[in-house]
Amino acid sequence: MYQKERLDNIMQIVKSCGYVTVKYLVATLHYSNATINRDLNALEKQKKIKRTYGGVEYTQTQGVPLPFRYNKMRASKLKIAKRATELVGEGEVIFVDASTTCEYMTEYLAEKKDITVITNNMALVMRLSEYGVNAVCLGGRIVESPCMLDGAETVENALKYRADKAFFSTAELTKEGEIGTGEIYYLLHNAMIRQAKEAYLLIDSEKIKPKSESKRALGDLEVVTGVVSDYGFDEETRKKFPKTAFIKA
């Protein structure tokens, strides 16, 4: 197979999936890891794809499909989720959004006593219920199959609750501290932040961007109590937001 044909096949897969791992491409196309990486480097130079740690994104995609987001930056998300759960106290009521990062909190939340979890993630509600955790589903329409909910009803229901803490994740955080997001979950995240005594942004280092690529922003780090991340924020950023806790995962 000529390189052009391989590149076309890779692009067809990446366009279809939005995000794939190098391992997946090697297994699917039956070429060596070195060959696939050379092809990916060529496509990146053409600005058709974006390389990430262990994977590749289609640069024109509107978002990484949900099944792939679960595995993307998985090790970092697990550390972030574990550290975030350490902030939850006994008997607290918390908001947890439908992000894959926050869903990784499930097993750790199961160890907490007498907590109530309010979420727009149907899968999270079912899993927490199996552990005996009091979980409340906000309802609404499915915006990301099979279990992520949003819409006017979701937001209205969130505004009915008061929480001790809110945990959420977004598409990006700029190095200037701007929290970027998309149209989905924008209003819900605002509602969760508004209705909670404390709000924590969970974000991995891959989502830290030099400048914003999102259409909307929730504001900057001043709107949250703390940011939980595996990223090492510099002293300048910490001084810019003196009231925000920078919690290293």
Burial 5-19 (b: 16+ CB within 10 A, else e): ebbebbbebbeebbb
- The pTM (predicted TM-score) of the whole model is 0.73
Cα separation of 181 and 168, whole Å?
11
List, in sequence order, every residue forming a beta bridge with 246; answer none if it has no partner: 227
pLDDT tens-place string over residues 41-65: 998 888 888 887 778 877 654 455 5
Cα separation of 26 and 184, whole Å?
33
Beta strand 245-248 pairing with 216-220: unpaired
CA 197 from chain centre, in angstroms, equals: 22
Low-confidence ranges of the chain (pLDDT < 50): 61-62
Helix (H) / strand (E) containing 26: helix 22-29
Question: Which pLDDT does position 194 carry in this prediction?
Answer: 95
Cα separation of 203 and 201, whole Å?
6
What stretches of 86-139 show up as alpha helix (H) in DSSP? 100-103, 106-109, 122-130
Beta strand 178-181 pairing with 216-220: antiparallel
Question: Which pLDDT does position 167 carry in this prediction?
Answer: 98
Domains and CATH numbers, the chain: 3-65 (1.10.10.10), 74-248 (3.40.50.1360)
Q: What is the DSSP string of 213-248?
A: -SSEEEEEGGGSSEEEESS---HHHHHH-TTSEEEE
CB neighbour list of residue 85: distance below 8 Å, 6 or more residues apart: 105, 108, 109, 111, 112
Helix (H) / strand (E) containing 66: helix 66-69
**Nearest-10 crossing angle of helices 3-17, 22-29:** 120
